[in-house]
Amino acid sequence: MTHAIEVALGLITEDLVAGGVPLPRIEPSTWQDWEPSESVMLFGADGSGTGVWLDLGLSQAHGLAHLADQVQDWAVEELARLGRPTNWPVCAAHPTNHPLRTLVEDGRAVWACPAGGTAPLPIGEVSSGEKRPSDR
């Protein structure tokens, strides 16, 4: 069964698109035998595969944040392989210092500046909340 992880990956994919990250090819997989969980493989442009998983024992928000964290690790490696800057999602306040980090805040999974420099963006809504540094 991979329904829940597909829904969660759909949200995270929105943020990959917003950040201009090439999308992985996603294949269902049962590599993760933790119960209850769902897992898939992400395949990059060079065909290398990375397993990511959704822990169904967590709340929806914590599960989504945990999954987004793994997709972020994948994206960083994929961008590095492509010779591109690896700071995804870009922190609007500190675009050259660090990427945003996943966090659960008020029951929502968000991307947040680790230094508290910008308002957290709900995972899946990076594009709608995107601000240029001059807009702050």
**Residue 17: in which H helix or E strand, if any?**
helix 3-18
Question: What is the number of the residue whose Cβ is closest to Zn ion?
Answer: 113
- How far apart CA 62 and CA 57 sit, in angstroms, is 9
- How far apart CA 9 and CA 52 sit, in angstroms, is 10
97 forms beta bridges with none
113 touching Zn ion, by CB under 5 A: yes
Output the smallest distance, CB 15 to Zn ion, in A: 16
Binding-site size for Zn ion (CB under 5 A) equals 6
Show the binding pattern over residues 93-112: x = contacts Zn ion (CB under 5 A), - = does not.
Answer: xx------------------
22 touching Zn ion, by CB under 5 A: no
Output the smallest distance, CB 29 to Zn ion, in A: 34
76 touching Zn ion, by CB under 5 A: no
Let me know the angle formed at the C-alpha of 133 by 127 and 134, rounded to the nearest 5 degrees: 120
- Dihedral angle at the C-alpha atoms of 79, 70, 68, 61, nearest 10 degrees? -170
Which of 3-11, 49-57, 60-68, 113-121 is the region at the interface with Zn ion (rule: CB under 5 A)? 113-121
If the CB atoms of residues 3 and 132 are measured against Zn ion, the closer one turns out to be: 132
If the CB atoms of residues 55 and 69 are measured against Zn ion, the closer one turns out to be: 69
Output the 3-class SS for 46-60.
Answer: CCCEEEEEEECCCCH
129 touching Zn ion, by CB under 5 A: no
Residues of the shown chain interacting with Zn ion in the complex, contacts defined by CB under 5 A: 91, 93-94, 113, 115, 117
